[in-house]
Amino acid sequence: MVHLCDVSIGMEGYLSKYVLTLYVTGTSPRTRIAIENLNRICKEDLIGKYELEIVDVLEHPQRAEDERILATPTLIKQLPPPLRRVIGDLSDKDKVLLGLEVRPSSSSSSPNASSEAP
Amino acid sequence: MKKTARPPATKSAARASKTDHPAVEKLRTGISSLDIIAKGGLPKNRTTLISGTAGSGKTVFAVHFLAAGIALGEPGVFVTFEESADDVRKNMHSFGWDLAAMEEEGKLAFVDASPDPDVETVEAGGFDLGALLARVQNAVKKVKAKRVSVDSLGAVFSQFSDQAMVRGELFRIASALKGMGVTAVLTAERTDDHGPVARFGVEEFIADNVMILRNALERETRRRTIEILKFRGCDHQKGEFPFTIVPRGGVIVIPLSAMQLSMKSSNVRISSGNAELDEMCGGGLFRDSVTLVSGATGTGKTLTVGQFLQGGAAAGEKCLLLAFEESRDQLIRNATGWGFDFERMERDGRLRIVCDYPDLSGLEDWLVTIQQTITDFGPQRVALDSLSALENVGTLKSFREFVIGLTSFIKHHEITGMFTATTGSLMGGDSITESNISTLTDSIILLRYVEMFGEMKRGLTVLKMRGSAHDKAIREFTIGQGGMQMGRPFKNVTGIIAGAPMHVSPSDVERAWTQFDTDVGDRRRRAEDRAQS
């Protein structure tokens, strides 16, 4: 399990914090691609407001069982609700953001985005 | 150098091991009679595809396979893609399988891969089913599973858009299952009972063996059959075998061909309950024989059965009566009229009466129910009144299978059986029942109405008695207190069996006898003797 935290503490930040878990199988090329893609997306669009855990299902099959994961890689967004799943190597950034219900950073300062925060 | 140095013995041994390659080992499933048609069980450490239309019993089969294994001390893993684990636990309760308890004992593990409707899933890029495989491996390791059921493959395809990926991953999982040393059953849907093996056209290539469950609609009734289509590298019985799914029993296959082979035969005679009838049969019925009593309505079939039961009870035997035509009260009342106290016989534990509507369940179910009743009660005599009532419950084929199944079961348990069949017409004629099952029974007793000078008389003849001499005469009988009273043979009447009795003058009879010039005197004397008696 790998924990990657990049959270700017503060009440406001906590509320809008993204808690993500990425389930992967071993160290396959697909795993590597998925991690790279996710890191890039986090840096570009979720900077300062996400918490990411990477779980290798070969080492922790029970975690996969509990979460009922079938496919790898699978990205799960636990918070903020609702729970969302994105499967695949995350190479399609637009779909990942759509799946996580994250607006691209370019529009994050728009009034629409801020109205969603509280 | 090395080649020449090698002793010849090892060389021949190596060759021998190549030719004497051990046959594929079979795993006894523990599912009643499936092992018979599979000639020992499913091929061990291999995958078997169970394909069938919706409602053909795939899930029940898959769970039964595991439950039967757990009963034999082989833990199992159930991978469900369709129903949630909770639903499976709930649904299987009615079959008497407490899956939750098995899980608690560490004998069963679920891998719940059913779709979660609450979680929205987006596909973004390439993926595989590595997590699923890891979970299956984990579950197999956890309970030390020997058996795995996957239900169903088709549902995996519907969960993901990339069919080619799913196909490849299923291949990978199937081969991984083999590596885990488990015997696996995979289910798959098909759209048609007689079309392609499975919906996605690839399922059958994933597994080594293919079995097909059918649930065909024939004449408004459902008929379940199971067929082993292929067993790679080992033998099995061919063709479709009827099966049924019963509460507290699960899948029960009816292996007809296997049953007939193991019949026994004895020379012990038992009483039919009527001394005169015994005499006509050459000294009584054979211990493990099945007698068919055929006649029009009211000719005395139920009476013959009553006598048979009374005779059994009198000899200290246990008797089972399966009545499909009359209610219990009616039967008991009628029996009292003949002087048989059925209620007392029941109290003494000599008789059990089972009354039911024939349409209550399918013929396969009836067969299983009857077999269970026989096993529970352990009777020496079984009477069924009447087969004709069951005739219309299913198709002709089902009916034949039912009779074959029941006859062989009865004989196998050295039970004496008596079935009745109702003929359609009052005078003579035969019934569908009779023409279809007469070859399956050992003895046939015909009961007929004989019209004589404005009066209906009853006649009885022993038409067939396998392995024994018997009276060839058609005798008159009357029914009264005490049952059946045998009278004289019908003289001067011909055409009784054909249903058109004709009176002939004694001189004609005389002439008929003398037409055969051998032993004329003998025959005449015998005929006279009979008339006098």
Kindly tell me if the per-residue pLDDT of A18 is higher than 80. Answer: yes
Distance between CA atoms of residues B371 and B252, nearest Å: 11
Kindly tell me if the per-residue pLDDT of B76 is higher than 90. Answer: yes
Look at chain A and count its residues: 118
DSSP B465-501: ETTS------EEEEEETTEEEEEEEP-SEE-TTTT--
Distance between CA atoms of residues B531 and B533, nearest Å: 6
* Backbone dihedral region for residue B296 (phi beyond 0: left; psi -120 to 50: alpha; all else: beta): beta
Helices (H), B144-281: 153-159, 163-179, 203-206, 256-261, 275-280
ipTM higher than 0.95? no
Q: In the structure, what pLDDT confidence band is assigned to residue A109 with cuts at 50, 70 and 90?
A: very low
pLDDT digits (tens, 9 = 90+) for B115-125: 887 777 888 88
pLDDT at position B309: 92
On chain B, the residues whose CB falls within 8 A of the CB of A70 are 113, 129, 131-132, 159
CB-closest option in B123, B127, B131 to A57: B131
B9 vs B38 pLDDT, higher one:
B38
CB contact under 8 A, B125 and A23: no
Q: In the structure, what pLDDT confidence band is assigned to residue A113 with cuts at 50, 70 and 90?
A: very low
Q: Rounded to a whole number, what is the distance in Å from the CA of A80 to chain B's nearest CA?
A: 14
Token code pair at residue B138? 């984990």
Residue B51, H or E segment:
strand B47-52
CB contact under 8 A, A88 and B137: no
pLDDT at position B520: 55
Q: Starting at the edge strand that comes first in sequence, how are the strands of the sheet with A74-79 ordered? A: A2-7, A49-56, A18-24, A74-79, A84-87, B120-123
Residue B449, H or E segment:
strand B443-452
pLDDT digits (tens, 9 = 90+) for B297-331: 888 899 999 999 999 998 899 999 999 988 899 99
Distance between CA atoms of residues B91 and A39, nearest Å: 45
Q: In the structure, what pLDDT confidence band is assigned to residue B150 with cuts at 50, 70 and 90?
A: very high
Kindly tell me if the per-residue pLDDT of B5 is higher than 70. Answer: no
Kindly tell me if the per-residue pLDDT of B246 is higher than 70. Answer: yes
Distance between CA atoms of residues B334 and B331, nearest Å: 5
pTM score of the predicted model: 0.72
CB contact under 8 A, A88 and B123: yes
Q: Does B268 touch chain A (CB under 8 A)?
A: no
CB-closest option in A65, A85, A91 to B135: A65
Q: How many CB atoms lie within 10 A of CB A117?
A: 10
pLDDT at position B14: 43
pLDDT at position B395: 79
Active-site residue set of B = 82, 325
Cα Rg of chain A, angstroms:
14
- Reference B440, options B464, B469, B460, B468; nearest CA is B464
pLDDT digits (tens, 9 = 90+) for B209-219: 899 999 888 77
Q: How many CB atoms lie within 10 A of CB B491?
A: 16
Distance between CA atoms of residues B178 and B374, nearest Å: 41
Q: Are B57 and B213 in contact (CB under 8 A)?
A: yes
Q: Which amino acid would we find at residue B101?
A: A
Look at chain B and count its residues: 533
- Residues in B 152-211 with any Cβ partner in A closer than 8 A: 159-160
Distance between CA atoms of residues B105 and B248, nearest Å: 21
Q: In the structure, what pLDDT confidence band is assigned to residue A9 with cuts at 50, 70 and 90?
A: very low
B526 vs B454 pLDDT, higher one:
B454
B128 vs A13 pLDDT, higher one:
B128
The residues, ordered by sequence, that sit 6+ positions from B434 with a Cβ below 8 Å of its Cβ are B292, B294, B421, B423, B444
Distance between CA atoms of residues B313 and B285, nearest Å: 15
Lowest mean pLDDT among B14-23, B150-159, B171-180: B14-23
pLDDT digits (tens, 9 = 90+) for B265-299: 678 888 988 888 998 888 888 888 889 998 888 88
Size of interface A-B (CB pairs under 8 A): 106
The residues, ordered by sequence, that sit 6+ positions from B149 with a Cβ below 8 Å of its Cβ are B62, B63, B65, B66, B76, B77, B78, B79, B184, B185, B186, B187
Kindly tell me if the per-residue pLDDT of B12 is higher than 50. Answer: no
- Reference B465, options B484, B486, B438; nearest CA is B438
pLDDT digits (tens, 9 = 90+) for B38-65: 888 889 888 999 998 888 889 999 999 9
CB contact under 8 A, B126 and A74: no
pLDDT at position B80: 92
Share of chain B above pLDDT 90, in %: 22
**What integer is the mean pLDDT of A74-92?**
86
Q: Which amino acid would we find at residue A57?
A: V
Query: Helix count (H) and strand count (E) of chain A?
Result: 5, 5
**What integer is the mean pLDDT of B231-245?**
85
On chain A, the residues whose CB falls within 8 A of the CB of B135 are 57, 61, 64-65, 69
pLDDT at position B320: 94
Q: Are A23 and A72 in contact (CB under 8 A)?
A: yes
Q: In the structure, what pLDDT confidence band is assigned to residue B237 with cuts at 50, 70 and 90?
A: confident
